[in-house]
Structure 1
Amino acid sequence: MPATSDLLAFALISLGMVLTPGPNMIYLVSRSICQGRRAGLVSLGGVVLGFVFYMLCAALGITALLMTVPFAYDALRIGGAFYLLYLAWQALKPGGRSPFAVRDLPQDTPRRLFAMGFLTNLLNPKIAVMYLSLLPQFLHPDGHGSVLMQSLVLGATQIVVS
């Protein structure tokens, strides 16, 4: 079990990250506005599953393995940079539209809403960075129980706060 001070500090940092809107929030708001509360809740289920996936990967050390592969980290950074450049080009090109411009969205099935919520979260760089770099700062292998249990408790705290 993490120390109470670590748990509170991690919860506050998680709250700060929630208060800075990102792809998850934009997706959930757009689906809730376009298709109603039920669609928003189904989409939220997919987002939460993405959080659980990241949490389990971090807790089991899979992400640590990926980060030791030299090209994996560089590929993630380069892919993220190209994605940001693509969004900028879409907004700035002649006749381009902002990704935040209001437009009608098609009615999607609950299955598609859930899958899109899951993928939106998996492709969210803010969540990846949090689980890859921030979570390990709050883990203490000496005297606070198993690292796996600490990771799961901190991850569950982040999910509840989000």
Structure 2
Amino acid sequence: MPDFVPDLSVILGFALAGFVLAVTPGPDMALFVSRTMNFGRAHGFAAVLGTSTGIAVHTMLVAFGISVLIVAAPAAFWALKVAGALYLVWLAIQAIRAGGGILVTRAAGKQPTLVQSYMTGLAINLTNPKVALFFVTFLPQFISASDRAAASKLLFLGAEFIIVSLPVVVATVLFAEWLTTTLRDKQWISKALNWSFAAVFMAFAATILLAQGRK
């Protein structure tokens, strides 16, 4: 077996942990649903690709030690927390504004490009301190510090996480597309979903800021 491939027990254990994390609701899942319901399946998958790119970045940072430096520097990590929280607040505002980019109700002339949906997914992932903290604290638990192939194995596990989470996020996008077709003519449900998305983003923003404020 190549040096960069962990033991089978490690692969299976990490796959289970990755699946649990993937099915846990969060701002990324809310973004997948809202982009799909507003702009279609392609935009949902573009947001998925953006968050997957973010996960790849986090994995590389952990593998090469940069994320550890971020966590070790309180000012830098605090800035990351605040940036992530403010971005979620902005998304919440967009969710309840007429013509906003997150709305379930389609708005003529306001459709973003696929690149914009991709960048939104990437930004949410990169500015989410919980994702950074997960990869910094959890991912290394599956690797021995004395392993000379530790960096390559961390990259392998990062790729594994993306693969394990793909069925979950693909199912989320497809379900959102079905839900859009089913509820297209029920405007009050669309408005309720808009406010629900806003509540999700605001709740995560408040959690991030309050957690920082207690330190």
- TMscore range, shorter length: 0.7 to 0.9
For residue 157 of structure 2, what is the amino acid of its counterpart?
Answer: L
Whether 2:154 is the aligned partner of 1:151: answer: yes
Tell me the residue number matched to 1:83: 85
Deviation at 1:5, TM superposition (A): 1.4
Superposition pairs of residues 12-161 of structure 1, within 5 angstroms: 12-76=16-80, 79=82, 83=85, 104=105, 106-142=110-146, 145-161=148-164
Higher relative contact order (CA 8 A, sep 6+): 1
Is the Cα contact below 8 Å between 2:38 and 2:104 reproduced in 1? no
- Work out the number of aligned pairs and report it: 148
Distance in 2, matches of 1:31 and 1:103, equals 8
Is the Cα contact below 8 Å between 1:28 and 1:44 reproduced in 2? yes
1:56-98 CA-partner distances (Å, limit 9, x unpaired): 1111111112222243345556x38x939x96xx8xxxxxx7x
Structure 1 residues 111 and 75: CA distance shift in structure 2, 3 A = closer
* Structure 2, unpaired ranges of 5+: 97-101, 166-215
Deviation at 1:124, TM superposition (A): 2.4
For residue 154 of structure 2, what is the amino acid of its counterpart?
Answer: S
Distance in 1, matches of 2:120 and 2:85, equals 17
Distance in 1, matches of 2:105 and 2:62, equals 37
> Please, what TM-score do these two structures have when normalized by structure 1?
0.78
RMSD, matched Cα: 2.7
Is the Cα contact below 8 Å between 1:45 and 1:114 reproduced in 2? yes
Distance in 2, matches of 1:57 and 1:140, equals 17
1:125-145 CA-partner distances (Å, limit 9, x unpaired): 332221111011111134x55
SS at match of 1:41: helix
Distance in 1, matches of 2:104 and 2:30, equals 13
Kindly report structure 1 stretches of 4+ aligned residues shifted beyond 4 Å: 74-77
Deviation at 1:14, TM superposition (A): 0.8
* Structure 1, unpaired ranges of 5+: 91-96
> Please, what TM-score do these two structures have when normalized by structure 2?
0.60
